[in-house]
Amino acid sequence: MNNKNRLLIFTALAVYGFLYLPLLIVVVYSFNDSKLNAEWVGFSLKWYDKLFHNNEILSAAGNSLIIAGISALVATVLGTLAGMAMYQYRLKVLPGLVLAPIAMPDILMGVSLLLFFIMLNMSLGLISIILAHITFCIGFVALSVQARMSGIDRSLTEAARDLGANPWQCFRMITLPLLAPGILAGALMAFTLSIDDFVVTFFVAGVGSSTLPLQIYSMVKIAVTPEVNAISTLLMLLTLILITLVARLSPGALRS
């Protein structure tokens, strides 16, 4: 069209390139038949094969799935309650407490929870990681549910009440089904956040309870190997699927 628009589109495309090229390189080199992430030698699946025979990585992946599953489940229940409460009532303390963990740098939550668990004489491991992950997931579920609540027509619940439904029936048969996409989107987001978290986990994980991001960190600290590319690619694939689902279920949820 005109120059300004061309310049704008060109810059925007360049920024998309900046966002995607680094990730593309990780994926491409995961299939490279060379130990170095420097030049393309030939196609190979050997790094994936190595990955599936690495017991440390497999047990870390198992831990990550357990942690993400339980954290997402509990955070979804608590976050849904919080989201509904924040929409229905004028509250002062709860919205602040729900948003603060999202707003503060992760490292602060990591070190303060470390102090907290040690003070309680709790041993660090799966349980401390799960408790920590629930804390930072609640807010994301709450925001997703709150956004969905504001899209529900209030006259539907009022009609149900007029027709004699008690609050529980009204919740179960009207609000919950309408809310479901928001809840599910929040749950998937919580699962993704948990499986991806590095910073908080770094502080509250004890010896012998490694997760995938912790495993990647310790591998990367020692040396850059294509095995890391292979886990990274699989992890990206998982995230891609989950986030596409969230985007389908509740387009607004990801923007908050």
Partner 1 sequence: MISKSWQQRLLTLPPLGYLLVLFAIPTLIMLFASFRYTGEYGGLAPWYAYKDGGLTLELTLENWQRLFETDIYLRLFVKSIGYAVFTTLLCILLGYPLALMIARSPRKHRDLLLLLVILPFWSNFLVRIYAWMILLSPNGAVTQLINSIRDVFGLAPVSLMYSASAVIICLVYVHLPFMVLPLYANLEKHSSALLDAAQDLGANRWRRFWNITWPLSLPGVYAGSILVFIPVLGMFAIPDLLGGTDGVMIANVIKQQFVESRDWPFGSVLSMVLTAAAVLVVLLGAKFGRQGGR
How far is it, in rounded angstroms, from Cα 40 to Cα 58? 28
| Residue-by-residue DSSP string for 102-147 | HHS-HHHHHHHHHHHHHHTTPPPSHHHHHHHHHHHHHHHHHHHHHH
Q: Which of 125, 127, 198, 245 binds partner 1 (CB under 8 A)?
A: 198
Residue 241 binds partner 1, judged by CB under 8 A? no
Q: Which is nearer to partner 1, 45 or 220 (CB)?
A: 220
Q: Which is nearer to partner 1, 66 or 91 (CB)?
A: 91
Residue 118 binds partner 1, judged by CB under 8 A? yes
Residue 109 binds partner 1, judged by CB under 8 A? yes
Residue 232 binds partner 1, judged by CB under 8 A? yes
> Could you tell me which stretch among 55-63, 79-87, 147-155, 178-186 binds partner 1 (CB under 8 A)?
79-87
Q: Which is nearer to partner 1, 111 or 178 (CB)?
A: 111
How far is it, in rounded angstroms, from Cα 136 to Cα 101? 6
Q: Which is nearer to partner 1, 73 or 247 (CB)?
A: 247
Q: Which is nearer to partner 1, 10 or 52 (CB)?
A: 10
Residue 191 binds partner 1, judged by CB under 8 A? no
Answer yes or no: are the C-beta atoms of 186 and 141 closer than 8 Å. yes
Residue 182 binds partner 1, judged by CB under 8 A? no
How far is it, in rounded angstroms, from Cα 22 to Cα 224? 15
Q: Which of 42, 119, 155, 207 binds partner 1 (CB under 8 A)?
A: 119
Answer yes or no: are the C-beta atoms of 126 and 60 closer than 8 Å. no
Q: Which of 46, 62, 112, 208 binds partner 1 (CB under 8 A)?
A: 112
> Could you tell me which stretch among 42-50, 54-62, 173-181, 247-255 binds partner 1 (CB under 8 A)?
247-255
How many helices (H) and strands (E) would you count in the chain? Answer: 12, 0
Q: At what angle do helices 226-249 and 176-196 cross, to 10 degrees?
A: 170
How far is it, in rounded angstroms, from Cα 40 to Cα 30? 10
CB of 116 to partner 1, least distance (A): 4
Residue 104 binds partner 1, judged by CB under 8 A? yes
DSSP secondary structure letter of residue 40: -
